[in-house]
Protein backbone atom coordinates (compact mmCIF):
# COMPACT_ATOMS: atom_id res chain seq x y z
CA UNK A 1 0.00 0.00 0.00
CA UNK A 2 1.54 3.32 -0.97
CA UNK A 3 0.67 6.78 0.31
CA UNK A 4 -1.63 7.58 -2.60
CA UNK A 5 -3.64 4.46 -1.93
CA UNK A 6 -3.88 5.32 1.76
CA UNK A 7 -5.01 8.88 1.09
CA UNK A 8 -7.78 7.79 -1.27
CA UNK A 9 -9.18 5.08 0.95
CA UNK A 10 -12.43 5.80 2.79
CA UNK A 11 -11.26 3.77 5.77
CA UNK A 12 -8.33 6.13 6.25
CA UNK A 13 -10.53 9.23 6.28
CA UNK A 14 -13.08 7.55 8.52
CA UNK A 15 -10.27 6.88 10.97
CA UNK A 16 -9.05 10.47 10.69
CA UNK A 17 -12.50 11.85 11.48
CA UNK A 18 -12.79 9.45 14.42
CA UNK A 19 -9.43 10.47 15.80
CA UNK A 20 -10.32 14.14 15.28
CA UNK A 21 -13.61 14.01 17.20
CA UNK A 22 -12.31 14.26 20.78
CA UNK A 23 -9.89 16.96 19.61
CA UNK A 24 -12.76 18.93 18.10
CA UNK A 25 -14.75 18.95 21.35
CA UNK A 26 -11.80 19.95 23.49
CA UNK A 27 -10.50 22.50 20.97
CA UNK A 28 -13.89 24.22 20.88
CA UNK A 29 -13.87 24.25 24.68
CA UNK A 30 -10.42 25.83 24.79
CA UNK A 31 -11.34 28.27 22.05
CA UNK A 32 -14.34 29.53 24.02
CA UNK A 33 -12.16 30.09 27.10
CA UNK A 34 -9.41 31.85 25.18
CA UNK A 35 -11.82 34.03 23.22
CA UNK A 36 -13.03 35.33 26.57
CA UNK A 37 -9.43 35.97 27.64
CA UNK A 38 -8.67 32.91 29.78
CA UNK A 39 -6.01 30.38 28.84
CA UNK A 40 -7.26 27.09 30.26
CA UNK A 41 -4.32 24.77 30.83
CA UNK A 42 -6.59 22.58 32.92
CA UNK A 43 -7.68 21.03 29.63
CA UNK A 44 -5.53 17.90 29.88
CA UNK A 45 -6.76 17.02 33.35
CA UNK A 46 -10.35 17.96 32.56
CA UNK A 47 -10.26 15.56 29.60
CA UNK A 48 -9.02 12.77 31.88
CA UNK A 49 -11.77 13.51 34.39
CA UNK A 50 -14.38 13.67 31.63
CA UNK A 51 -13.23 10.36 30.16
CA UNK A 52 -13.53 8.70 33.53
CA UNK A 53 -16.76 10.37 34.70
CA UNK A 54 -18.64 9.57 31.49
CA UNK A 55 -17.46 6.00 31.50
CA UNK A 56 -18.11 5.25 35.17
CA UNK A 57 -21.61 6.76 34.88
CA UNK A 58 -22.46 4.43 32.01
CA UNK A 59 -20.88 1.48 33.82
CA UNK A 60 -23.09 2.32 36.81
CA UNK A 61 -26.15 2.04 34.61
CA UNK A 62 -26.77 5.40 32.96
CA UNK A 63 -27.50 5.53 29.20
CA UNK A 64 -24.65 6.66 26.96
CA UNK A 65 -25.99 10.21 26.58
CA UNK A 66 -26.35 10.26 30.36
CA UNK A 67 -22.63 9.52 30.51
CA UNK A 68 -21.93 12.45 28.15
CA UNK A 69 -24.01 14.70 30.40
CA UNK A 70 -22.15 13.55 33.52
CA UNK A 71 -18.84 14.24 31.77
CA UNK A 72 -20.05 17.72 30.79
CA UNK A 73 -21.09 18.55 34.34
CA UNK A 74 -17.79 17.20 35.70
CA UNK A 75 -15.94 19.46 33.28
CA UNK A 76 -18.05 22.42 34.34
CA UNK A 77 -17.16 21.76 37.99
CA UNK A 78 -13.43 21.93 37.20
CA UNK A 79 -14.15 24.96 35.03
CA UNK A 80 -15.78 26.64 38.00
CA UNK A 81 -12.69 25.91 40.09
CA UNK A 82 -10.39 27.27 37.38
CA UNK A 83 -12.63 30.29 36.89
CA UNK A 84 -12.80 31.26 40.55
CA UNK A 85 -9.02 31.40 40.83
CA UNK A 86 -8.27 32.90 37.42
CA UNK A 87 -11.13 35.38 37.01
CA UNK A 88 -12.30 37.13 40.20
CA UNK A 89 -9.02 36.38 42.03
CA UNK A 90 -7.00 37.11 38.89
CA UNK A 91 -4.25 34.59 39.66
CA UNK A 92 -1.73 33.51 37.04
CA UNK A 93 -3.65 31.49 34.48
CA UNK A 94 -0.65 29.23 33.86
CA UNK A 95 -0.39 28.22 37.48
CA UNK A 96 -4.13 27.77 37.95
CA UNK A 97 -4.38 25.70 34.76
CA UNK A 98 -1.53 23.37 35.60
CA UNK A 99 -2.95 23.03 39.10
CA UNK A 100 -6.33 22.05 37.72
CA UNK A 101 -4.72 19.52 35.37
CA UNK A 102 -2.78 17.90 38.21
CA UNK A 103 -5.76 17.93 40.54
CA UNK A 104 -8.23 16.57 37.99
CA UNK A 105 -5.86 13.81 36.89
CA UNK A 106 -4.95 12.69 40.41
CA UNK A 107 -8.52 12.94 41.64
CA UNK A 108 -9.63 10.77 38.73
CA UNK A 109 -7.08 8.06 39.52
CA UNK A 110 -7.96 8.20 43.19
CA UNK A 111 -11.69 7.90 42.47
CA UNK A 112 -11.00 5.02 40.10
CA UNK A 113 -9.23 3.12 42.86
CA UNK A 114 -11.94 3.90 45.37
CA UNK A 115 -14.73 2.77 43.04
CA UNK A 116 -12.91 -0.24 41.57
CA UNK A 117 -10.44 -1.39 44.23
CA UNK A 118 -10.23 -5.01 43.25
CA UNK A 119 -10.12 -5.08 39.46
CA UNK A 120 -6.95 -5.64 37.49
CA UNK A 121 -8.42 -4.70 34.11
CA UNK A 122 -11.14 -2.06 33.85
CA UNK A 123 -14.64 -3.28 32.95
CA UNK A 124 -16.02 -2.66 29.49
CA UNK A 125 -19.21 -0.85 28.53
CA UNK A 126 -21.22 -0.89 25.31
CA UNK A 127 -19.95 2.18 23.49
CA UNK A 128 -21.65 4.37 20.90
CA UNK A 129 -22.02 2.51 17.58
CA UNK A 130 -21.68 4.07 14.13
CA UNK A 131 -24.94 5.35 12.68
CA UNK A 132 -25.18 5.43 8.93
CA UNK A 133 -26.86 8.53 7.55
CA UNK A 134 -29.13 7.46 4.69
CA UNK A 135 -28.18 8.70 1.21
CA UNK A 136 -25.24 10.87 2.38
CA UNK A 137 -23.25 7.81 3.38
CA UNK A 138 -23.49 6.55 -0.19
CA UNK A 139 -21.38 9.41 -1.57
CA UNK A 140 -18.07 7.88 -2.67
CA UNK A 141 -15.13 8.44 -0.28
CA UNK A 142 -16.83 11.27 1.70
CA UNK A 143 -19.86 9.17 2.51
CA UNK A 144 -18.24 6.35 4.45
CA UNK A 145 -15.65 8.76 5.92
CA UNK A 146 -18.06 11.39 7.27
CA UNK A 147 -21.51 9.85 7.42
CA UNK A 148 -20.90 6.48 9.00
CA UNK A 149 -19.67 7.70 12.39
CA UNK A 150 -20.95 7.53 15.95
CA UNK A 151 -23.54 10.11 17.11
CA UNK A 152 -20.89 11.76 19.29
CA UNK A 153 -18.78 12.53 16.19
CA UNK A 154 -21.79 14.14 14.54
CA UNK A 155 -22.28 16.14 17.74
CA UNK A 156 -18.68 17.37 17.51
CA UNK A 157 -19.28 18.79 14.03
CA UNK A 158 -22.58 20.34 15.05
CA UNK A 159 -20.80 21.93 18.02
CA UNK A 160 -18.34 23.71 15.71
CA UNK A 161 -21.24 25.27 13.82
CA UNK A 162 -22.96 26.24 17.05
CA UNK A 163 -19.84 27.83 18.53
CA UNK A 164 -19.29 29.83 15.33
CA UNK A 165 -22.93 30.94 15.30
CA UNK A 166 -22.93 32.01 18.91
CA UNK A 167 -19.57 33.78 18.69
CA UNK A 168 -20.34 35.76 15.56
CA UNK A 169 -24.11 36.08 15.41
CA UNK A 170 -25.33 36.67 18.95
CA UNK A 171 -24.93 39.50 21.47
CA UNK A 172 -23.49 36.94 23.89
CA UNK A 173 -20.77 35.95 21.43
CA UNK A 174 -19.93 39.59 20.84
CA UNK A 175 -19.56 40.09 24.58
CA UNK A 176 -17.30 37.02 24.84
CA UNK A 177 -15.06 38.20 22.01
CA UNK A 178 -14.89 41.70 23.48
CA UNK A 179 -14.00 40.31 26.93
CA UNK A 180 -10.96 38.63 25.42
CA UNK A 181 -9.92 41.71 23.54
CA UNK A 182 -10.69 44.67 25.78
CA UNK A 183 -12.35 43.89 29.11
CA UNK A 184 -12.48 47.58 29.92
CA UNK A 185 -14.69 48.10 26.86
CA UNK A 186 -17.04 45.43 28.21
CA UNK A 187 -17.13 47.02 31.64
CA UNK A 188 -17.69 50.48 30.17
CA UNK A 189 -20.77 49.16 28.39
CA UNK A 190 -22.21 48.03 31.68
CA UNK A 191 -21.55 44.31 31.32
CA UNK A 192 -19.79 42.13 33.90
CA UNK A 193 -16.42 40.91 32.66
CA UNK A 194 -16.30 38.46 35.55
CA UNK A 195 -19.63 36.86 34.65
CA UNK A 196 -18.75 36.56 30.97
CA UNK A 197 -15.34 35.04 31.61
CA UNK A 198 -16.61 32.68 34.31
CA UNK A 199 -19.36 31.50 32.00
CA UNK A 200 -16.93 30.91 29.14
CA UNK A 201 -14.50 28.96 31.31
CA UNK A 202 -17.25 26.81 32.82
CA UNK A 203 -18.94 25.97 29.52
CA UNK A 204 -15.63 25.55 27.70
CA UNK A 205 -14.39 23.13 30.36
CA UNK A 206 -17.60 21.16 29.95
CA UNK A 207 -16.81 20.61 26.27
CA UNK A 208 -13.24 19.61 27.11
CA UNK A 209 -14.61 16.90 29.39
CA UNK A 210 -16.94 15.68 26.63
CA UNK A 211 -13.85 15.44 24.41
CA UNK A 212 -12.34 13.16 27.05
CA UNK A 213 -15.57 11.16 27.31
CA UNK A 214 -15.48 10.54 23.56
CA UNK A 215 -12.48 8.33 24.19
CA UNK A 216 -14.27 6.05 26.66
CA UNK A 217 -17.78 6.20 25.22
CA UNK A 218 -17.12 6.17 21.49
CA UNK A 219 -13.51 5.53 20.43
CA UNK A 220 -12.95 2.76 23.00
CA UNK A 221 -15.24 1.07 25.47
CA UNK A 222 -13.21 1.32 28.63
CA UNK A 223 -11.03 3.64 30.70
CA UNK A 224 -7.22 3.54 30.90
CA UNK A 225 -4.98 5.80 32.92
CA UNK A 226 -2.96 7.17 30.03
CA UNK A 227 -5.67 7.33 27.42
CA UNK A 228 -5.82 11.14 27.03
CA UNK A 229 -2.09 11.09 26.43
CA UNK A 230 -1.39 14.75 25.73
CA UNK A 231 -4.43 15.38 23.53
CA UNK A 232 -5.28 18.40 25.70
CA UNK A 233 -1.97 20.05 24.90
CA UNK A 234 -2.53 19.35 21.21
CA UNK A 235 -5.85 21.18 21.46
CA UNK A 236 -4.11 24.26 22.91
CA UNK A 237 -1.92 24.25 19.79
CA UNK A 238 -4.93 23.68 17.57
CA UNK A 239 -6.59 26.83 18.89
CA UNK A 240 -3.50 28.80 17.89
CA UNK A 241 -3.37 26.96 14.57
CA UNK A 242 -6.99 27.89 13.96
CA UNK A 243 -6.22 31.53 14.75
CA UNK A 244 -8.98 31.45 17.41
CA UNK A 245 -11.59 30.77 14.71
CA UNK A 246 -13.84 27.68 15.05
CA UNK A 247 -13.78 26.68 11.36
CA UNK A 248 -10.03 26.87 11.00
CA UNK A 249 -9.56 25.04 14.30
CA UNK A 250 -11.80 22.25 12.98
CA UNK A 251 -9.60 21.95 9.90
CA UNK A 252 -6.54 21.83 12.13
CA UNK A 253 -8.01 19.02 14.21
CA UNK A 254 -8.80 16.97 11.09
CA UNK A 255 -5.34 17.66 9.67
CA UNK A 256 -3.63 16.51 12.85
CA UNK A 257 -5.85 13.45 13.05
CA UNK A 258 -5.10 12.63 9.41
CA UNK A 259 -1.38 12.70 10.12
CA UNK A 260 -1.98 10.44 13.10
CA UNK A 261 -4.03 7.97 11.02
CA UNK A 262 -1.40 8.16 8.29
CA UNK A 263 1.50 7.28 10.54
CA UNK A 264 -0.25 4.14 11.79
CA UNK A 265 -0.74 3.00 8.21
CA UNK A 266 2.76 3.98 7.12
CA UNK A 267 4.14 1.67 9.78
CA UNK A 268 2.58 -1.22 7.87
CA UNK A 269 4.04 -0.27 4.48
CA UNK A 270 7.35 -1.38 3.06
CA UNK A 271 9.04 1.77 4.41
CA UNK A 272 7.77 0.81 7.84
CA UNK A 273 9.80 -2.33 7.74
CA UNK A 274 13.07 -0.39 7.64
CA UNK A 275 12.32 2.86 9.48
CA UNK A 276 11.96 2.66 13.29
CA UNK A 277 8.28 3.10 14.21
CA UNK A 278 9.09 5.89 16.67
CA UNK A 279 9.80 8.15 13.71
CA UNK A 280 6.27 7.56 12.46
CA UNK A 281 4.88 8.33 15.89
CA UNK A 282 6.66 11.69 15.73
CA UNK A 283 5.24 12.51 12.32
CA UNK A 284 1.93 14.14 13.32
CA UNK A 285 3.68 16.32 15.86
CA UNK A 286 6.44 17.43 13.50
CA UNK A 287 4.00 18.20 10.71
CA UNK A 288 1.69 19.98 13.15
CA UNK A 289 4.52 22.18 14.36
CA UNK A 290 5.39 23.07 10.78
CA UNK A 291 1.77 23.81 9.95
CA UNK A 292 1.43 25.84 13.14
CA UNK A 293 4.43 27.96 12.24
CA UNK A 294 3.17 28.57 8.71
CA UNK A 295 -0.48 29.14 9.54
CA UNK A 296 -0.38 31.17 12.71
CA UNK A 297 2.14 33.83 11.83
CA UNK A 298 -0.47 36.43 11.05
CA UNK A 299 -3.06 35.26 13.56
CA UNK A 300 -4.67 37.89 15.75
CA UNK A 301 -4.28 36.79 19.35
CA UNK A 302 -7.07 38.00 21.65
CA UNK A 303 -5.36 41.08 23.09
CA UNK A 304 -6.44 40.46 26.68
CA UNK A 305 -5.65 36.72 26.70
CA UNK A 306 -4.09 35.89 30.07
CA UNK A 307 -4.63 39.44 31.34
CA UNK A 308 -6.72 39.45 34.52
CA UNK A 309 -9.24 42.27 34.75
CA UNK A 310 -9.50 44.20 37.99
CA UNK A 311 -12.24 46.75 38.22
CA UNK A 312 -11.10 50.14 39.41
CA UNK A 313 -7.38 49.66 38.79
CA UNK A 314 -5.67 52.26 36.69
Partner 1 sequence: MTDKAQAQTVLRLSHITKRFGALTANDDVSFELKRGEVIALLGENGAGKTTLMNILFGQYTADAGEVEVFGQVLPPGNPRAALDAGVGMVHQHFTLAGNLTVWENIVLGTQALGALRLDAKAARAKIKALSTRFHLAVDPEAKVGRLSVGERQRVEILKALYREARILILDEPTAVLTPQESDALFATLREAVGQGLSVVFISHKLHEVMAISDRTVVLRHGKLVAEHATAETSREELAALMVGGEVSAPKIEAMPPGPALMRLSGVSTRGEGRAPGLHAADLTLHAGQISGLAGVSGNGQKALSDLISGLAHPVAGSFEIAGEPVADWSPRRALARRIGRIPEDRHHTGTIADFDLTENAVLETYASDFARHGWMDWKGARAQAEGLIATYDVRCPGPDTRIRLLSGGNMQKLILGRVLETAPRIILANQPVRGLDIGAVNYVHGRLAEAREKGAAVLLISEDLDEIMKLSDVIHVISEGRLSPGFARGTMRAEELGQWMAGEGFAPLTEAAHAS
Question: Closest separation between CB of residue 92 and partner 1, Å?
Answer: 15
Applying CB under 8 A, does 178 fall inside the site for partner 1? yes
Cα 124 to Cα 52, 53, 58, 227: the distances in Å are 12, 14, 10, 15
CA nearest 84: which of 201, 210, 184, 204? Answer: 201
DSSP state of 124: P
Question: Closest separation between CB of residue 253 and partner 1, Å?
Answer: 23
Per CB under 8 A, the list member of 184, 268, 270, 310 interacting with partner 1 is 184
Beta strands in the chain (DSSP E): 131-132, 148-149
Altogether, the residues listed in the chain come to a count of 314
Residues 6+ positions from 13 with CB-CB distance below 8 Å: 141, 142, 144, 145, 146, 258
x/- track of binding to partner 1 for residues 262-301 (CB under 8 A): --------------------------------------x-
Per CB under 8 A, the list member of 189, 276, 278, 298 interacting with partner 1 is 189
CA atoms within a 13 Å half-sphere pointing along the CA-CB vector of 152: 34
Which is nearer to partner 1, 60 or 185 (by Cβ)? 185
Applying CB under 8 A, does 303 fall inside the site for partner 1? yes
x/- track of binding to partner 1 for residues 144-173 (CB under 8 A): -------------------------xxxxx
Applying CB under 8 A, does 8 fall inside the site for partner 1? no
Per CB under 8 A, the list member of 177, 197, 231, 245 interacting with partner 1 is 177
Farthest CA pair distance, the chain:
66
Binding site for partner 1 (CB under 8 A): 169-175, 177-178, 181-182, 184-191, 300, 302-303, 311-312, 314
Amino acid sequence: MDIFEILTSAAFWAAAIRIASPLIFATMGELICERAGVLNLGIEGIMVAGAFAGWIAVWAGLPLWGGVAVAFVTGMAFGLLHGIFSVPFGLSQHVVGIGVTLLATSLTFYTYRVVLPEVSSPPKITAFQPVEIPLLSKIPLIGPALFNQTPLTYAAFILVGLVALVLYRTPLGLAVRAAGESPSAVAAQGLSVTAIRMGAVIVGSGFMAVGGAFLTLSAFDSFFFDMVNGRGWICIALVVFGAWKPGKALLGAILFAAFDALQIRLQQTTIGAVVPYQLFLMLPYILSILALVLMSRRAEVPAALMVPFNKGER
